[in-house]
């Protein structure tokens, strides 16, 4: 049964047949379109990525965080804006800087911990970037999703990577659907990032099971596979 107090979460990725996601040696000229054109067909209120991925879109400048900003409370900040969709970044320590509060047509939302300095909050406010707190020292991803629902009305969120962010949501049991564009290539690079990077070793965690929702052949030899996550109560484990 779906939790109606947080968004439905779809993880969408482009991967090789051996699960790699870094495309340096794949040899496809249009590798961006394979991901983006399929992503556009997934109806969502926001796309969500990790800090490293978002730094491709954020400012290349490093802003000064000095000044008397101690009066800024560690409380969620919902900026005034009229965007209909959002770009959410998992940025616990506040490493992304911004020249604007938009990525294309999406309003930026930073998901932070309370460890970020007040000067960073002042920077976000000066650029009218929204931010939410997901914990004191570590992010509670379930709390982050609930705030995206309660503060911004999000019904569906699409997670676009990278592997560590995907793995964190997977480990927390917060992914409802997995959308994989399977590229007809074997990478084979040892240590290259993979679709899901949850943790080293096996610990006591069980693997996540899926059931197929749909399979489509696209771009000649690519497959677009959409899976539903089998929740623990369905597996009988």
pLDDT of residue 35: 96
- What does pLDDT average to over the chain? 94
Which residues of the chain fall below pLDDT 70?
A: 1, 67-69, 233-237
Task: Transcribe 161-229 into DSSP letters.
Answer: --HHHHHHHHHTT---EEEEEE-S-----TT--BS----SS-TTPPPPEEEEEEEEEETTTEEEEEEEE
The token duo for 191 is 């240590």
CA–CA gap between residue 17 and residue 201 (Å, rounded):
22
**Mind listing the domains of the chain with CATH numbers?**
1-44+155-237 (3.40.430.10), 46-154 (3.40.430.10)
Residue carrying the six token digits 């940025």: 91
Say if residues 163 and 15 touch (Cβ distance below 8 Å): no
pLDDT tens profile 182-198: 999 999 999 999 999 99
pLDDT tens profile 124-149: 999 999 999 999 999 999 999 999 99
pLDDT of residue 235: 59
Phi-psi sector, 8: left (phi>0), alpha (psi -120 to 50), beta: beta
pLDDT of residue 190: 96
């Amino acid at each position: 049964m779906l939790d109606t107090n947080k968004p439905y979460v779809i993880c969408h990725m482009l991967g090789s047949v051996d699960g790699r996601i870094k495309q340096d040696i794949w040899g496809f000229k249009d590798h961006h379109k394979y991901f983006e054109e399929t992503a556009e067909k997934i109806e969502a209120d926001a796309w969500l990525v990790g800090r490293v991925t978002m730094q491709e879109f954020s400012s290349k400048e490093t802003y000064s965080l000095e000044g008397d900003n101690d009066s800024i409370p560690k409380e969620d900040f919902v900026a005034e804006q009229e965007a209909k969709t959002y770009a959410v970044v998992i940025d616990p320590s506040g490493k992304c800087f911004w020249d604007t509060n938009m990525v294309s047509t999406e309003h930026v939302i930073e998901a932070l911990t309370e460890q970020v300095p007040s000067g960073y909050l002042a920077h976000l406010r000066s650029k009218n970037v929204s931010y939410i707190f997901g914990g004191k020292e570590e992010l509670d991803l379930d709390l982050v999703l609930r705030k995206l629902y309660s503060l911004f009305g999000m019904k569906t969120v699409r997670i676009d990577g990278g592997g560590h962010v995907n793995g964190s949501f997977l480990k927390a049991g917060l992914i409802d659907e997995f959308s994989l564009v399977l590229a007809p290539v074997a990478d084979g690079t040892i240590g290259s990032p993979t679709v899901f990077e949850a943790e080293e070793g096996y610990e006591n965690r069980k693997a996540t099971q899926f059931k197929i929702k749909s399979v489509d052949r696209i771009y000649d030899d690519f497959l677009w596979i959409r899976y539903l996550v089998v929740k623990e109560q369905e597996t009988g484990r």
